[in-house]
Every structure is written in C-alpha cells, then in structure tokens.
Structure 1
Amino acid sequence: MADDEHNEAAVRTFLSCATEVARLMDLEDAADVPETRRARHLAHAARKPLLERAHLPEELFASLMAAAVHDPDPSFCRWFVEPAVYAFGRRRVLTALLDYLRTGTDAEQAGAERAWYCAHVPLHADRSPAYAPGGSRDPALDESLDVRDEWQETLRLSAK
C-alpha cells in the first residue's frame, strides 16, 4: 500500500472512531465541516463534555480507546485518553492499551504507544467531576504497576 493510501485509510479510520464517540455523546454530526477537518472537529466538540461528566456510559469506553489509538496526531490523542482515565480509571485504560499493543495492527500498536504516554496524565480533583466530593477517588481505579510491568515485558519481547 502506498503511503498516500495508507494515510488516507488512517484518516478514514480515525474519522470513523471520532464519529462514533460523537454519536455516543449525542453531539452534532459535523456534516457541514469538510471531511479533511471533520474528525478533529468532532474530537474538539467531544473534549469538554467528556471532561465535564462525572460518569461516562460503559459503551463509550471502547470507542474512546479506539479513537485514542487511531488518532494520527500524538498531541491530540490525549483528548480521548484523559476523560477515559478520569471516568474509567488509569488501570482500565492502560490495560486496554496493552491489549492493543499485544493484538493490534502495526498502526494500532503505534497508536497504543502514543496513547500510553498520555494515559499517565496527572489527575486533579478540580479538573473532573469524576472525583467524589472532597476530592477522593477509589485508588484501585488507578493502581497500575503490574500493567506497566506487563507493558514493558511485551515491548521487550516484541523487540526480539
């Protein structure tokens, strides 16, 4: 596959992922935005509402992870990862990224590596209503040392 075809396929995949997130969030479909900018427009439209909600529907988790992994811009995949970390916990996000690293396509594995970095965003009680009153949070949501060890082991084995 030529580079242009590969990039075009990657853009279409990301657009599909961003569209699904927007659909699950009941956001506008952005049909009036040129296709070349539609995915980024949808991601931008979803960012604030994702962070403002104390709880996100379970069905949104896989779509957020797919959008994060397929986002071609490493600066923006955080827009999907950060709300997922707040709502579903760092452990679950890192586990999903580890699954992409182990079983995903080459593009998904590269996307998982980009998103892995973003999944270590510092959490702040004043940034998300996902925290209980008083700024508390179940620590089990974010315990992930074992997942980090598995990530390192998977990278080590894939380098052989």
Structure 2
Amino acid sequence: MTEGDGHEASTRSFLACAIEVARLLGLGDAADVPDDRRARHLAGAVRKPLLERAGLAEEFFDPLMTAAVYDPDPSFCRRFVEPALYAFGRRRVMTALLGYLRTGTTAERAGARRAWYCAHLPLRADRSPAYAPSGSRDPALDEADDMVDQWLESSSAQQRARSASEGQEQA
C-alpha cells in the first residue's frame, strides 16, 4: 500500500465516522458534496447541533470517539471531542482515548494522540447546556488526573518499545 492509498483509506474511514454521527443527529449524509470534501463538511455540520444539546444518548459516545480518532486534522477533531467532553465528561473521553493508545492500530494511536490534546479543553458553563442551570456539574465527570498519569505511562512505554525495536533493526 502506498502512502496515498493509506491516506485514501483513512479518509474513507473518517467519512464513515462522520456519516454515522450525522445519522445519529438525523442529518443527511451530504451525498451532494464532492467526496474529497464530504467528511469535513459533515464534521462542520454536526458540531453546533452536538454542542446545543443538554445531553447525548449513550449511542453517541463510540461514534464521537471514533470520529475524533479517525479525523486526520488535529485542528478539527475538536468537533467530536468537545461535545463528548460536555456530554460524557473528561474522564470517560480520556479513558476511551487511552484505550486507543494502548490497543489501537498505528493510525488509531496517532489519532488518539491528536484527540488527546483536545481532551484538555476548558469546559465553560456558557458553552453547552450540558451544564446544570446553576453552571456546575458533577466534578467526578471531569476528574482525570489519574488518566493523565496512565497516558504518560503508556506513551513512555510505547516510546521505549519503539526505541528498542529501532535499536534491534540497526544491529
């Protein structure tokens, strides 16, 4: 598989993820948009409706996380991570990303690293109705210090394994 083929497969996977999130929201699949811009168009179309909801059904969680991980652009995976943070909490989002880091394919691990950055976004009561009317929410949803520690441990272990593997190849 050439690098171009890998990018095309990644784009198709991201498109499938974006279509699934749009379907859950009851939006169309943007079939009239050219294929090379369709996933990005859908990602833009779902952000506002996701953030405007006071909550999201459980069925949204996995598609949001998958779309965030498969989004090839680190600037735009926020469109999926941010609504998940508000609806499901930082701890759960980070747990899912840690799972991708530990057991995902090479592409999924790279996507998890991109999405991890967005998982640290500050949450504001005026940004989403997922906060209670008082402007607060259960702090346990966002308690994630131990998740950060686990992320760092897993990242370090993977880096050591890569270094060891590269050392063996050079020998």
TM range, normalised to the smaller chain?
over 0.9
Equivalent residue number for residue 7 of structure 1: 7
Task: With the length of structure 2 as denominator, give the TM-score of the two structures.
Answer: 0.93
Q: Residue 148 in 1 paired to residue 158 in 2?
A: no
Q: Residue 98 in 1 paired to residue 76 in 2?
A: no
Paired positions, count: 160
State the alpha-carbon separation in 2 of the partners of residues 155 and 39 from structure 1: 29
State the alpha-carbon separation in 2 of the partners of residues 89 and 148 from structure 1: 14
Q: Residue 17 in 1 paired to residue 12 in 2?
A: no
State the alpha-carbon separation in 1 of the partners of residues 57 and 133 from structure 2: 20
Task: With the length of structure 1 as denominator, give the TM-score of the two structures.
Answer: 0.99
Equivalent residue number for residue 81 of structure 1: 81
Aligned alpha-carbon RMSD (Å):
0.5
Q: CA deviation at 1:159?
A: 1.0
Look up the equivalent residue of 1:18 and give its one-letter code: A
State the alpha-carbon separation in 2 of the partners of residues 95 and 88 from structure 1: 11
Q: CA deviation at 1:136?
A: 1.0
Q: Deviations over 1:68-119 (max 9, x none)?
A: 0000011100000000000000000000000000000000000000000001
Identity of aligned pairs, percent? Answer: 70
State the alpha-carbon separation in 2 of the partners of residues 93 and 85 from structure 1: 6
State the alpha-carbon separation in 1 of the partners of residues 29 and 158 from structure 2: 39
Equivalent residue number for residue 158 of structure 1: 158
State the alpha-carbon separation in 2 of the partners of residues 159 and 42 from structure 1: 34
Q: Per the alignment, in what secondary structure is the counterpart of residue 55 of structure 2?
A: coil
Q: CA deviation at 1:28?
A: 1.4
Equivalent residue number for residue 110 of structure 2: 110
State the alpha-carbon separation in 1 of the partners of residues 7 and 114 from structure 2: 17
Q: Compare CA radii of gyration and give the structure with the larger one.
A: 2
Equivalent residue number for residue 63 of structure 1: 63
Q: Per the alignment, in what secondary structure is the counterpart of residue 81 of structure 1?
A: helix
For structure 2, the 5+ residue unaligned runs are 161-171
Q: CA deviation at 1:29?
A: 1.4
Q: Deviations over 1:105-144 (max 9, x none)?
A: 0000000000000010000000000000110110000000
